[in-house]
Amino acid sequence: MSAAQSVEILLVEDNRDDAELALRSLSRSHLTNPIHVVKDGQEALDFMFCAGEYAHRSIDDLPKVILLDIKLPKVDGLEVLRQLKSDDRTRLVPVVLLTSSQEEKDMIAGYGHGANSYIVKPVDFQQFSSVMTSLGMYWLMLNEIPPAHA
């Protein structure tokens, strides 16, 4: 991805297989929007807040949607969500929690911190692919998001 290219989906996923499957599913459904993958919560925060290796980015160049795993190394997904939703610059970016956790406490915490959606990753390949296609279609084609400076 070139520095000038805008990212429309930020995928925060530490499981390489799940990330690859998500990318393949979105590509197969002809959603070729620019996608950037980060592997842990700290890298997600650095990307969104233009720190560390992402210091060259502009905070105004926000993704249309963030697909965020909950169970992440370094900084867990719920803390990433909390920080994103508590900052005026990033609070309006839709965040979809895409996780293997079926724990009610995680779902309640996710929505409590401002998640826009909570989806449990299906274990079955075909179902996972279908979920990713539906997610991409909804969040990129149907959903309207407010301008960055709303």
CATH number of 9-136: 3.40.50.2300
In this prediction, residue 12 has a pLDDT band, given cuts at 50, 70 and 90, of very high
Answer yes or no: is pLDDT of 46 > 90: yes
DSSP structure class, residue 122? P
Bridge-partner residues for 38, per DSSP?
Answer: 12
**Per-residue confidence at 70, pLDDT binned at 50, 70, 90?**
very high
Pairwise CA distance, residues 33 & 48, whole Å = 18
Q: Residue 8 pLDDT more than 80?
A: yes
Phi, psi of 98 (to 5 degrees): -120, 105
At residue 122, does pLDDT exceed 80? Answer: no
What pLDDT does residue 100 have?
84
Closest Cα to residue 67, out of 33, 49, 44? 44
| Angle of helix 41-48 versus helix 77-85 axis, rounded to 10 | 20
